Amino acid sequence: MTAVAQKPPAAATRPAYRVTGTHVLRSESTKLWSLRSTWITLGLALLFLIAFGTIAAWRYYSGVTSGRQLDPDFRDSTALSLSLFGIPLSQLALGVLGVLVTAGEYSTGAIRSTLAAVPRRLPVLWSKAAVYGVVALAIALVGSFVTFFVDSGIVHNTPAALSISSSGVVRSLLGATVYLGLIGVIGVALGALLRSVAGAISVLVAGLMLVPGLVSLLPTSWHNAIQPYLPSIAGESMYSLHHGPHTLSAGPGFLVFAAWTALALAGAAWRLSRSDA
């Protein structure tokens, strides 16, 4: 009898790994939600919006009903301005988390694994910015509208009363939402550009809070010419119900702030294209 020749077992074939935009987005989303800091910081951002806006409304209401003279900061308040009282703190929370999304990977060295899986580099930046930008936008949308409805109920019988159908209210709330969402994107860009958590947070805080204070010390003509184009001031014009003589309206304010966001992303893309880590 002749032995039947046996064929060698076929080697197992592994499916080819393809790097697609969808895969990168899904990967960045998974990394974002797997961090405990994401849940804590987003919770703080939402808390700042709702809690500080509600506290401001109660303080205004108690001042009006008690007959005491209102503080200058509250004298011309509306339900809208009171509901957005927590934006300065909320923007810091969202911006800091944006920094951690990118700079955090550089500080731990995890960025090497990320860029090894996505050799083209730039899709990583776009995906991080898109994923976190949408998350920050959602938090801002919920916080802004919820706080406005709460504050409207608190001050409905006072001079500050406004309804959602009042002129400019929806536009202002959406402007605040977009502003906070873009703050998150700027945080991502600064983290990728500077690759240092402390450095990026310092630049973020300086750009949003310290530089406007320094500009206010300049001569009046210089101050009026420069201040409307600073990031935080241009952003504020996006959600202000009324605009002063030396401020931008909502549309130009959005264009200026979008330009700042694009500049930060362009700087991050330039550095990422030149060096990995």
In a domain, residue 8? The reply is no
Whether residue 250 has pLDDT greater than 60: yes
Average pLDDT over residues 171-196: 96
Question: For the chain, how many helices (H) and strands (E)?
Answer: 13, 0
Lowest mean pLDDT among 27-36, 115-124, 226-235: 115-124
Average pLDDT over residues 119-147: 93
- Tell me the pLDDT band of 14, cut-offs 50, 70 and 90: low
In a domain, residue 2? The reply is no
In a domain, residue 77? The reply is yes
In a domain, residue 86? The reply is yes
Q: Could you tell me the residue range of the domain that residue 218 belongs to?
A: 22-272
In a domain, residue 5? The reply is no
User: Which pLDDT does position 9 carry in this prediction?
Assistant: 54
Average pLDDT over residues 178-200: 96
User: Which pLDDT does position 75 carry in this prediction?
Assistant: 75
User: Which pLDDT does position 117 carry in this prediction?
Assistant: 81
In a domain, residue 126? The reply is yes
Q: Higher model confidence: residue 21 or residue 174?
A: 174
User: Which pLDDT does position 246 carry in this prediction?
Assistant: 82
**Please, what's the b/e burial string for 189-216 (b: 16 or more CB within 10 A of its CB; e: otherwise)?**
bbbbbbbbbeebbebbeebbeebbeebe
Whether residue 152 has pLDDT greater than 90: yes
User: Which pLDDT does position 274 carry in this prediction?
Assistant: 85
- Assign 3-state DSSP to the chain and report helix, strand, coil percentages, each to 5: 75, 0, 25
Whether residue 118 has pLDDT greater than 90: no
Give 224-243 pLDDT, tens digit per residue.
999 999 999 999 999 998 88
Q: How many domains does the chain have?
A: 1
Q: Across all residues in the chain, what is the average pLDDT?
A: 88
**Residue among 51, 43, 57 nearest 139 (CA):** 43
Percent of the chain with pLDDT over 70: 92
**Residue among 189, 84, 94, 79 nearest 139 (CA):** 94
Q: 3-state secondary structure string, 87-125?
A: HHHHHHHHHHHHHHHHHHHHHHCCHHHHHHHCCCCHHHH
In a domain, residue 12? The reply is no
Query: What does pTM read for this prediction?
Result: 0.89
- Tell me the pLDDT band of 1, cut-offs 50, 70 and 90: very low
In a domain, residue 6? The reply is no
Average pLDDT over residues 81-94: 95
